[in-house]
Structure 1
Amino acid sequence: MLDGLGGTQGTRETGPAPTYVTAEAATSEMPKIVAESPPKLPDSPVKRSRIGDLPMRVIYRILAVGVAVIVAAVATVVGFVSSGSSDQPGEGKTGQIAAPSAAPPSPGSVSAEPSTSVSEQASTQASAASASPSDTTPATPSASSSPSGSPSPSETAAPASVSDGFEPAPDRSAVIAALTDPRVPDLPRDKRLARLSGKAAKGKRRVQDEKSGVSLVRLGKPWKVFGASPFATKQVLPKAKGAGHRAMVVSCPVPILVQRESKDTALLAARWTLNHHPKGGKITWTASQPIKNGWLLAYRVKYKLKGKTRFSMAAVAVTEISGAKPAMLFATIPDTQRKYWRAINTAVSSLRVK
């Protein structure tokens, strides 16, 4: 029997084993793959940032404390600078302004704009700040009742308010005190005001004094209406070189204690007008005469400027007003503008009760 390999039938050819058997027998065992163990971590952990370990609430508290410290430091520096600057020369320390006293004001020394609260308190003490002419007086010291410069008690007393009905002073103590002033001579005998030198000051319109209840002529050029304070109305001339004061014609309620006699009231008013003349002025009377519902006093005020004797022509007219303080017209013109003295005649003769 053939074995299919070219041998004889019934026989098996012996020989080397097939190659695939040999190859299979000669194959060696595959080596085992063993995975390497991972590197061993160090015993001590890696150090981390301390800030990162802190809780957020601790961080917030630290920040808040820091901000508070900075704010306190800034406030301390600012306070130190402020306190230091107030001690510099020419700078006063700040503080609350004391309210003015409610005591009756001295004539000629009351501020031009008193507070409402003071006026209400003063009215309970028979002093009407709203209707009193002291509201229109400047803050200059009043004329003294004696060489020492202290006003008499009767002059510092305030009259009753208009709303309560006006009442004059009960006696002449203020007049007696005023006549002891070396700047004020005794009242002269009645004498009419003469026509003063200069050109007549013509005027067609009138100035209304609502506070006093009177009106007067509005003088023509070069006169002009000016800021009235501390008076009710005011007309002035241009400033003159070498004059100790500015020429003016003003009106207001009388700024002094009113007397029973208009002549006495005019005397106290004339003495008060020395506040609006150069320091050291003395009065010399030139006229004293009655006018409708009042009295007129004209006078010269002599004073010295830079060692040279100078003077001004002046006049005061007092007019009675029913139920209120009398109205006062005051005019003064220095000798450097004597060509306008006639305006005093014009102003006085034009005074009318409204």
Structure 2
Amino acid sequence: MPAYVTAEADTSELPKVVVDGPPKSSINPLGSPVKRSRIGDLPMRVIYRILAAVTVVVVGAVAAVAGLVYSGSSDQPGEEASGPIAAPSAAMPSPGFGSPASSSSASPAPSSSASASVSASPAPSPTVSAARTPERSAAVVVALSDPRVPGMPPGKRLARLPGKEHKTKLRLQDAKSGVSLARLAKPWKTYGAPPFSTKQVLPKVKGGATRAMVVSCPVPIKVQESPEETALLAARWTLNHHPKGSTIAWAASQATKDGWLLAYRVKYKIKAKSRFSMAAVAVTEVPGAKPAMVFVTIPDTQRAYWRDINTAVTSIRLK
């Protein structure tokens, strides 16, 4: 019987055959290629144009919305555009129940300028009012409210006062005030001037509380716009050199060549007895300096020298 020998043949693994199909991304079911959109492939000028167009559209939309919101209140039926509210005229009757509602809504709303002019018309102009009634300074108002000062003095010339006239040829120079005045004859004599610039006095009367004197100095008060008001404040200030509780009674008020003159009686009490002094204040304008003041006061116990008041105030001269 024949013997069969099984031979093992050399075998090797067969390679796998793989058939590559077409790329899925490049072929669609219909067989046409797909185009991919890449922004990075676009030119920069195209991107800028797209952004500019989008910006214009957004800005236009915002402006349209804002316009609708702004005009919405005036577009609503029965409402008026906002603006200043003027007070209703007293002559305009208020609509009653019989008034047609459509007449008020159909009338146009008044403009803001017209409303402002109507509401402001009743108020007077402050400039015109101030021109008609000029206000005095605070210092003059205080002086006139002082119970010791009886208001502004009425215009009246200084009369010749009683007493003997004492002629004099000598003069006193007040360099500080810029004026000169008569140096009165005896029994007048110069005396220590401070707080004044010059000072003349009569011998003091025994038992008298006041002393006759003629003094000069720059006005010791604030200068006012008119010499009359400056003289008023100066006259009030001279009460400091009279007994406590003194009051003024006006005797004269007149303009002088370079200023103003006030004459007055100063009433007071000495040991419960009523007494008074005759006094005067002359304010003289001095170029480039404060006005000069000449103040004279002589008590009733020395009334024989009252005429020297006339002499003193009429002798004032600019240096």
| TM beyond 0.5 | yes
- In 2, Cα distance between the equivalents of 1:204 and 1:214? 16
- In 2, Cα distance between the equivalents of 1:306 and 1:171? 38
Matched, 1:293 2:258: yes
Q: Could you tell me the TM-score, scaled by structure 2's length?
A: 0.57
- In 2, Cα distance between the equivalents of 1:275 and 1:300? 14
User: Alpha carbons of 1:253 and 1:245: their partners in 2 closer, same or farther (altered >3 Å)?
Assistant: same
Amino acid corresponding to residue 313 of structure 1 in structure 2 = M
Matched, 1:336 2:301: yes
- In 2, Cα distance between the equivalents of 1:290 and 1:220? 27
Cα pair 1:312 1:332 within 8 Å, conserved: yes
Matched, 1:215 2:180: yes
Cα pair 1:244 1:334 within 8 Å, conserved: no
Amino acid corresponding to residue 351 of structure 1 in structure 2 = I
Match of 2:269 among 304, 312, 317: 304
Cα pair 1:171 1:259 within 8 Å, conserved: no
For the aligned residue pairs, the C-alpha RMSD in angstroms reads 1.1
Cα pair 1:250 1:329 within 8 Å, conserved: yes
Which runs of no fewer than 5 residues in structure 1 stay unpaired? Answer: 1-169
Q: Could you tell me the TM-score, scaled by structure 1's length?
A: 0.52
Amino acid corresponding to residue 315 of structure 2 in structure 1 = S
Match of 2:227 among 262, 287, 297: 262
Match of 1:204 among 135, 151, 169: 169
Question: Secondary structure of 2:205's partner?
Answer: coil
Aligned pairs, number: 185
Question: Secondary structure of 1:279's partner?
Answer: coil
Match of 1:172 among 137, 152, 156: 137
Matched, 1:315 2:280: yes
Q: Percent identity?
A: 71
- In 2, Cα distance between the equivalents of 1:271 and 1:223? 25
Amino acid corresponding to residue 211 of structure 1 in structure 2 = K
Deviations 1:59-102 (A, max 9, x none): xxxxxxxxxxxxxxxxxxxxxxxxxxxxxxxxxxxxxxxxxxxx
- In 2, Cα distance between the equivalents of 1:171 and 1:259? 9
- In 2, Cα distance between the equivalents of 1:223 and 1:180? 36
Cα drift, residue 241 of structure 1: 1.9
- In 1, Cα distance between the equivalents of 2:281 and 2:175? 19
1:231 — aligned with what?
196
Question: Secondary structure of 1:321's partner?
Answer: coil
Cα pair 1:285 1:298 within 8 Å, conserved: yes
- In 1, Cα distance between the equivalents of 2:150 and 2:232? 10
Matched, 1:181 2:175: no
Matched, 1:327 2:272: no
- In 2, Cα distance between the equivalents of 1:293 and 1:205? 22
Deviations 1:238-294 (A, max 9, x none): 001232211000000000000010000000000000000011100000000000110
Cα drift, residue 202 of structure 1: 1.6
Moved over 6 A (4+): none
Question: Secondary structure of 1:265's partner?
Answer: helix
Question: Secondary structure of 2:294's partner?
Answer: strand
